[in-house]
Amino acid sequence: MTQKSRTTGSNTTTSKTGAESSATTFASLDPRSGDVIAEYPVADQAAVDEAVDRARIAARWWDAQGFRGRREWLLEFKKAVAQDAVALATLVSRETGKPYGDAFLEVMLAIEHLDWAAKNAKKVLRARKVPSGIASFNQAATLEYKALGVVGVIGPWNYPVYTPMGSISYALAAGNAIVFKPSELTPGVGKWLEEKWNSIAPTQPVLQVVTGLGETGSALTRAGVDKIAFTGSGPTARKVMAVCAESLTPLVAECGGKDAMIVAADADIDKAVDFAAFGAFGNAGQTCAGVERIYVVESVYQEFLDKLTAIVKRAEPGGSDESTYGPMTLPRQIDIVRSHIEDALASGGTAVVGGAESVGERIIEPVILTDVPETSRAVCEETFGPTVVVNKVRDLDEAVDRANGTSYGLGASVFIGNKAKGRELAERLRNGMVSVNSVLGFAGIPSLPFGGIGESGFGRIHGADGLREFSRPKSVTVERFSSPLRLMSLERPERDLNLSAKMLKFMHGR
Ligand code: NDP
């Protein structure tokens, strides 16, 4: 795929699109045409360090606002973003190539999360008394959650507002200042968010954005921040983690997925098909928690497949806002998607819609693959494109076994009439999130933590856990009165130890 030059300057480095790049500026491109949208500076280590220094000063002011003050600021920020949501969605659509409606949905969801984080931080993180237990009954125990300081956020391009804001909103609400490195494919969206913050608090750089290529992200991991919130691929997460290990910088890693959908015999098939099509092909399949594998029990397999085939054949990918989905945002993914289709077919799978020829220069037509061996790359590795594998299973036990068969563990969905059975299956799925009778149901509920296990990463954003992820617990005890037993003394009386031994037996030895 040909791309216009992305950068200007003298020292050449490699950009994500494989185009020539330099150390001074780079271009954001329209994935529909390859045209340059705007130029952005490449922030080097010095520029990133300066941003982190500024953030550290701003963090003191932000922390001093307290929960109530931050809530007011964040709700102001939310209002400013919501009032200008059309402009933000238009920019998202421009930089990612996704239809405007999809971009707007993403902005709406991000605003919901910002609202929840602003309104719930105090309840989740404020200081509270906790029980001190019988052995320490003379102590008053208090637990509170303190801000970490400066959080470095490294984001992907597929949901350039929703995904990083899932970290930024919760980290801000917990009292941290942010330095955000957006993907090199969506720098404009990052800058937009920074400018929106600056429009309400121009002298307090609590949310700063540094633009650049992978090296800028790497510089952020070396800049002495108090935590890194990384969203992206597993291979990059490993690099980030290796750098974080040098300074014991904590990390939350939200990585890719290979999410399965399970369809039971008593499922509402029309509904399952509708959600399957959206989950697999929406955003051109470039969704970390999108549907990639579908396991359908044999009694309803053919009906499901026929209906899914019919709906997918009506899809019209393209570059307009009316298109079902847009072009591939990251050109390099196109070859990976093609190789997964080819591998599935070479290993015995069948293409019932499309095939390797569906992979175009910018747009990939939808592909449905069936009877694909579980060892195929199309089943085991993340396919960031509009393809889905539909495999027949004997029963729900086999479906769960196969769903649990990859090294990923992000989300999953179950379509089933018996909701109690659906909950049971959800429990048995080895991952972070499950939706019963919908797809991605968990993503729009701010009080639910979001994240995965295994190759899908660790740690959580969203919800109370997301707020705590960007805080450090602080434990304080205040002695209410002197303990009648002097156990913590170099001159411990023997009588006190004997008494304690009797108490231990009475309390725990019965
Ligand atoms: P990458 O891993 O390529 O990049 C992610 C971010 O890391 C980008 O901002 C990138 O910058 C930056 N980066 C690249 N190299 C380094 C480095 N050495 N040190 C620090 N930062 C670096 O992922 P993609 O952008 O391609 O995103 C797609 C992936 O993200 C998919 O696997 C997807 O599943 C996952 N994802 C996970 C989500 C989740 O919540 N679990 C949500 C959304 C996506 P640059 O772009 O400039 O190279």
497 part of a folded domain = yes
User: Are residues 374 and 294 both part of a single domain?
Assistant: yes
- Report the separation in Å between the CA atom of 454 and the middle of ligand 1, taken as the mean of its atom positions: 17
pLDDT of 102-140, one tens digit each? 999 999 999 999 999 999 999 999 999 999 998 899 999
Contacts with 69 (C-beta within 8 Å, 6 or more apart), sequence order? none
23 part of a folded domain = no
447 part of a folded domain = no
pLDDT of 406-435, one tens digit each? 999 999 999 999 999 999 999 999 999 999
When pLDDT is cut at 50, 70 and 90, the band that residue 492 belongs to is very high
- CA-nearest residue for atom 13, ligand 1, is 214
Residue 9 scores a pLDDT above 50: no
Return the closest-CA partner of residue 391 out of 381, 411, 376. Answer: 376
DSSP state of 432: S
In terms of residues, how long is the chain? 510
Residue 20 scores a pLDDT above 70: no
Ligand 1 within 6 A of 403 CB? no
Identify the residue whose tokens are 């597929």.
158
Q: What is the CATH number of the domain that holds 100?
A: 3.40.605.10
- Report the separation in Å between the CA atom of 329 and the middle of ligand 1, taken as the mean of its atom positions: 13
pLDDT of 237-250, one tens digit each? 999 999 999 999 99
385 part of a folded domain = yes
User: Are residues 233 and 333 both part of a single domain?
Assistant: no
Residue 3 scores a pLDDT above 50: no
User: What integer best gives the mean pLDDT of the chain?
Assistant: 95
**Full-model pTM:** 0.94
What does each C-alpha distance from 252 to 153, 221, 269, 386, 389 come to in angstroms?
10, 12, 37, 28, 30
Q: What's the CA gap between 292 and 12, in Å, rounded?
A: 37
Atom of ligand 1 nearest to the CA of 330: 26
Return the closest-CA partner of residue 145 out of 118, 175, 167. Answer: 175
443 part of a folded domain = no
From 254, 292, 382, 455, the catalytic residue? 254
pLDDT at 2: 36
Q: At what angle do helices 45-64 and 214-221 cross, to 10 degrees?
A: 50
Atom of ligand 1 nearest to the CA of 163: 42
Residue 1 scores a pLDDT above 50: no
User: Are residues 166 and 267 both part of a single domain?
Assistant: no
What does each C-alpha distance from 365 to 312, 323, 340, 353, 432 come to in angstroms?
10, 12, 14, 9, 30
Task: Find out whether 287 and 277 touch, Cβ atoms under 8 Å.
Answer: no
Task: Find out whether 277 and 266 touch, Cβ atoms under 8 Å.
Answer: no
Domain that holds residue 221: 51-256+463-469
Tell me how many domains the chain contains: 3
pLDDT at 5: 38
pLDDT of 454-470, one tens digit each? 999 999 999 999 999 99
pLDDT at 135: 87
If one counts every other C-beta atom within 10 angstroms of the C-beta of residue 206, the result is 25
User: Are residues 202 and 292 both part of a single domain?
Assistant: no
pLDDT of 310-348, one tens digit each? 999 999 999 999 999 999 999 999 999 999 999 999 999
Residue 10 scores a pLDDT above 70: no
Q: Which of 5-9, 51-55, 327-331, 389-393 has the weakest average pLDDT?
A: 5-9
36 part of a folded domain = no
What mean pLDDT comes out for the span 347-370? 97
pLDDT at 19: 52
Residue 23 scores a pLDDT above 80: no
